[in-house]
Structures are given as structure tokens and as C-alpha cells.
Amino acid sequence: MVSRYENYDLSRQNTFRMKVSCRCYIEYGSIEDLKSLDFDSLPQPLLCIGEGSNLLFTGDFPGTVLRSRIDYVKYFDVGADTVPLAVGAGVNWDELVAKTCADGLWGLENLSLIPGTVGAAAVQNIGAYGVEAKDVIVGVTCFDIQKREKTAFKQEQCRYGYRDSIFKDPEYKGRYIITGVLLRLSREPKPQISYGALKGLFESGAPQSPQQVRDAVIRIRREKLPDPEELGSAGSFFKNPIVPAAQFLTISKGYESVPHYVLEGGFIKIPAAWMIEQCGFKGAVRGGAAVYAKQPLVLVNNSGEATPQEIISLEQEITDAVRARFGVQLHPEVEHI
């Protein structure tokens, strides 16, 4: 069933809690619902959202916001260690992770407590603690607005990269609406616990279930990240920069140690949070906006009344300072609308 609203308040549809509105807001629950829409007659442009957890609205949106309510989780028992499952784009991501962990399936546990929907996770290629969504995605089903029909992309066609996919490309973003995602999980224990703080929690022995890893991830995230229901934010605001090894050596001069992760091809990933903290921004407050005191990678709506301009001004101040000090250009992970 399609629900349509005009001049809709989006303050509860974005976790930054920006007080903005859109010209038109539509919720749909199936591909048939999408087929029934006359997209050409809708206020333009079109914007598909999940739970608004990776968005910064910079002002009122002049077009149509589309919100998926496609809600299903279907297991395909093929009698092997590998377990495929099809999931609707509107399913809450963490509820899916909780279900698969409770069912003893490995693959999603490291991605626990990440806000948003399954469809948005496939667009963003969410990641945490050494695992990305692309590691478990087999394919993505979509509605093609131009052809008004269902279509599908195999994992390799999605062009997944660091917080990136083909669905973020302007050529595809306005054409394809993700309706479902096919995942492949495992009954066989495959814990990924070598990354960051997660490694220290299992020094005494490997986890025996995905639920143990999920519990550890939730504990870590709750200790350092704000609850968006209590303090508006969009999670990690910046991508971690990736630099050549020679540039990393230059950055390292003058520091006893620089946290980093070695990647293929001689590149180094440096935590943006470390750079931001070195520039003195941890806990910094600028009007209604602030850098979260426990995790400088997160910008927050500190007053509950912050304007988009205050968030953007703080973002610019941080990127200017990091570039001046380290010669590195930070790029936002959060999408600006």
C-alpha cells in the first residue's frame, strides 16, 4: 500500500534531527506499489532513504522522498554450511543481524548496531571491525524506474568499494530503487576478530557463537558512540583516509606512533578520528553542533536545535585543520542532501 504526504516534516526521518521538510513523502511496501507510481508527475528530484542514518539534509528538500517498507526475511535451506537468505530493503539492519545471530549464522555479527535498513546497507556498503556488507552480499534486486520493471545486480556488478557502490553513482542513483538483497551466511564458525578493539576482547579464546561477537561489538559501540535517539548524529561523519606508504611516513614524523592499517598495494588507512583529535577537536562545541567527546569521528546535534549550516561549518573547520596539519583531505561518509 502506498502512503503519500505533501510538505512532510523530515525531522524524524533523519538521525541528525535536522528540522527540514520535503515537498512530497511516499512510503511503499512492494514492487507492485512502485509500479503504480507515476514517477514523472512526482516533485523532482527523487530521493530514496532508509532510516536517514547517513544523511545530512542541508535544507528543505524540493522533491520527493521515497521510503521502503518492504519487509521480509526468507531463508533458503540448501542443506549445506552456506545459508542464502533474501531480505526486503525496508528491514531494519540491526534487527536482521540480531535474528541471524540468534539463529547461529555467521557473517553479520561484526556489523551489529549499525543503524539503517538493509537497502541502505547495500547502497553504502556499510562496514565495521574488518567486515563490509559486500562480504556477505550475493546480489541486489531493484526496481528500474525507466523501464518500470524488476531487475537484479550480481555482487560484482555493484562495484563495491570503501563506503561506495554503483548505486551512489549519479547515473544509477536516480534510476534504480533497491527492493531486496540476497545474502550468504554460514553455519560454520568464521569469526573475524582481528580488527581494532574487538581483538582484545577475545585474547583468551575464539568466540563460540556469532552472538558472542555481536555482544562484544554492541558493548564497544555503546561505549564510544551516541544513541541517535538521545543525541542526533549520523554516525561516523568522515571516511578514514587512505594514503600511499610514503605519505604515511611523512605524517608519522613527530609522533611516537600513528594508528594505521596496512592495505593491499602499499596503501595505509589512517583513522580520521586520530587526525581530528590531534587537531584539538575532540569535544569541541560550535553553536548547536559539536564533535562527540568520546569519538571525534562523530559530529552531533549537541543542542537538539543545530542547523545544517552549523554542522557544515564545523565540518569545514575540521577538514581545513586536518589538511593544514597532515596534508590529507578528509571526505565525508555522510551524504549531504
Q: How far apart are CA 137 and CA 147, in angstroms?
A: 25
Q: Which of 163, 221, 233, 315 is catalytic?
A: 163
Average pLDDT on 165-169 reads: 93
Q: Residue 205 above 80 pLDDT? A: no
Largest CA distance in the chain: 62
pTM of the model: 0.90
Domains of the chain and CATH, by start: 3-68 (3.30.43.10), 73-222 (3.30.465.10), 226-336 (3.90.78.10)
> Is position 323 annotated as part of the catalytic site?
no
pLDDT at 195: 78
pLDDT at 158: 96
Confidence of residue 78 (pLDDT cuts 50, 70, 90): low
> Is position 69 annotated as part of the catalytic site?
no
Q: How far apart are CA 93 and CA 307, in angstroms?
A: 28
Q: Residue 106 above 70 pLDDT? A: yes
pLDDT at 228: 83
Average pLDDT on 103-122 reads: 95
pLDDT at 139: 97
Q: Residue 1 above 80 pLDDT? A: yes
Q: What is the DSSP letter of 153?
A: E
- Alpha carbon of 262 to those of 135, 188, 247, 259: distances in Å? 19, 28, 13, 10
Where helices occur in 228-307 by DSSP H, the ranges are: 245-252, 272-278
pLDDT at 32: 96
pLDDT at 171: 86
Q: Residue 64 above 70 pLDDT? A: yes
| Three-class secondary structure of residue 278 per DSSP | helix
- From 19-28, 114-123, 133-142, 227-236, the region with the lowest mean pLDDT: 227-236
Q: Which of 132, 310, 315, 333 is catalytic?
A: 333
What's the mean per-residue pLDDT of the chain?
Answer: 93
Q: Residue 51 above 80 pLDDT? A: yes
Q: How far apart are CA 298 and CA 236, in angstroms?
A: 5
Q: Which of 67, 236, 310, 315 is catalytic?
A: 236
Average pLDDT on 230-257 reads: 92
Q: Are 151 and 164 in contact (CB under 8 A)?
A: no
Write out the three cell numbers for 15.
Answer: 538521525
- 236, β-bridge pairs: 298
Confidence of residue 95 (pLDDT cuts 50, 70, 90): very high
Share of the chain above pLDDT 70, in %: 99
> Is position 333 annotated as part of the catalytic site?
yes
pLDDT at 79: 67
Q: Residue 246 above 70 pLDDT? A: yes
